[in-house]
Amino acid sequence: MQMLTPFLLDRLKRNANRPAISFFRKGRRETECSFQELDQDSARLALLFADRGVSRGDRVLFSLGKSLFFVTAYLAVHRLGAIAVPCNPDFTRSEKAYLVEDAAPKLIISREQDRDVFQAIALRTALIPVDETRPYQELPEIQNSPLPRKSGLEHHPDDPALIIYTSGTTGPPKGAILTQSNLAHDALNVSKIWEIGPEDRLLHALPLFHVHGLCFALTTCLLTGASVAMLDRFQADEVLTFLRSKDPACTLFMGVPTMYTKLLDSLEHGPEAFQHIRLWTSGSAPLKPAEFERIQQMLGKPPVEREGMSETGMNFSNPLHGVKKPGSIGLPLPGLQVRIVDPETGADLQTGQIGEIWLKGPSISPGYWNKPSETAAAFHNGWFKTGDLGKKDGEGYYYLTDRLKHIIISGGENISPKEIENRLNQLESVFESAVFGLPDETLGERVAAAVVPHPGATIQTDELQAYCREHLHKWKCPKQFFIVDHLPRNTMGKVLKHELQRLAGD
């Protein structure tokens, strides 16, 4: 069984003198490195982390902006057999405190500007604050760390290697565990179905704290020897400049639907400017058929739609060569078993019938970190219950139709209504709340909240907005608030969120 770290380290050495990553900050090249430099610098950082007490099985929390240091530190953690825990560096203090408590990291690597926050919420945890305004080669963590001797550490297929926190449906985020074999199988699958190899160059404009940017994009390129032009952020005009450039030319772009909408809205050139790009992929949220057609017309090739989850890696993809069906997530990846079942009985349904999608395969997480009850609820006889409703057509293509779980997907981000409700309900003036998604042309869905005041209390929407901005990341904050007398419920007392969506539409 293939394991990520030994395979990855072998590939770094095999591609030693080839360019690996060019990193651009605000559109300007900041630094670049070869596969050999990645290998050596990650070995140096591994020694530094070991001196801070990190060993096999320990968690290392990343709260960094996108940078070459992030990539090198991520590789260093894997070299030690430790577990990487990336998080959005722009999370609020409350969100960061939850992750620290839940993951119990041995080491935190943070932005320098967040030093005081982590020193306050993680008093007994080692901390390495990184000054991200300094060029990579000038960072003391790189300059002052010696190159260690070869490590004899052995890795095992079932060793946890990564914890990705995903929005919980019944409470705060859950840490999905991904093992050495999970990550290796997933990256090799992606490289195989999309034929990614050393001749490719990926324009990387995704964040590194999600599986999309970290696993599907970055790890796949490192394993295959493809080079990466890594941007510190997504800015439509900057991305278009890089996509048009042929010195050197990028051949791959991976994005989410909102990225494509912004790119097409900013486009001033015809498809002839992008003929060197052989693959456009879209995932993390549904792509509207109309946007599929716009991409094909304006960028010159149809996008390859795919589907994946934090807990499973990539599951489905439309074929690189062959029919790409707008609105379909495509065909199952090699090694994946799929069932469409009645969510009430668990009975298998026929082609064309809508049911819950259940999955089984080598890339699927063994469960959630320190949450045995949530893990047990997510599986049935080895099958992972995705919470997505879908169907299969007569040619074997799959479609997502709805969600059993009340996750809101806004701009490619999974947002838990329950997390926001729990936070709103802590306000003294709030009796109860319900958070739901509303259609949005740009984001796919936007977050909305219905709030019931305590009897006699008065609530202003600007008060609610300020409170949410203090305690929640900006993409979790509701864009609209509705002050209501009561929440609509069925006879069992369950809040009818579809009714709230209807009332909001009216």
Q: What is the pLDDT of residues 392-438, one digit of tens each?
A: 999 999 998 877 777 788 887 878 787 898 889 889 899 889 999 99
Higher pLDDT, 22 or 289: 22
For the entire predicted model, the pTM comes to 0.84
The secondary structure element, H or E, covering residue 12 is helix 4-14
Q: What CATH class is the domain 4-372?
A: alpha beta
CA 399/CA 391 separation, integer angstroms: 5
Q: What token pair was written down for 417? A: 């209504």
Residue-wise pLDDT tens digits, 336-380: 999 999 988 889 999 999 899 999 999 999 999 999 999 999 999
Return the residue matching tokens 């550490």: 153
What value does the mean pLDDT take over residues 154-160? 92
Correct CATH for 409-505 of 3.30.300.30, 3.40.630.30, 3.40.640.10, 3.90.330.10: 3.30.300.30
Q: Which DSSP string corresponds to 287-350?
A: PPHHHHHHHHHHHSS--EEEEEETTTEEEEE--SSS---TT--BEEPTT-EEEEE-TTT--B--
- Per DSSP, the three-state class of 21 is strand
φ/ψ (deg, to 5) at 461: -65, -35
Confidence band, pLDDT 50/70/90 cuts, at residue 138: confident
Residue-wise pLDDT tens digits, 481-500: 999 998 887 654 568 887 89
Domain boundaries, the chain: 4-372, 409-505
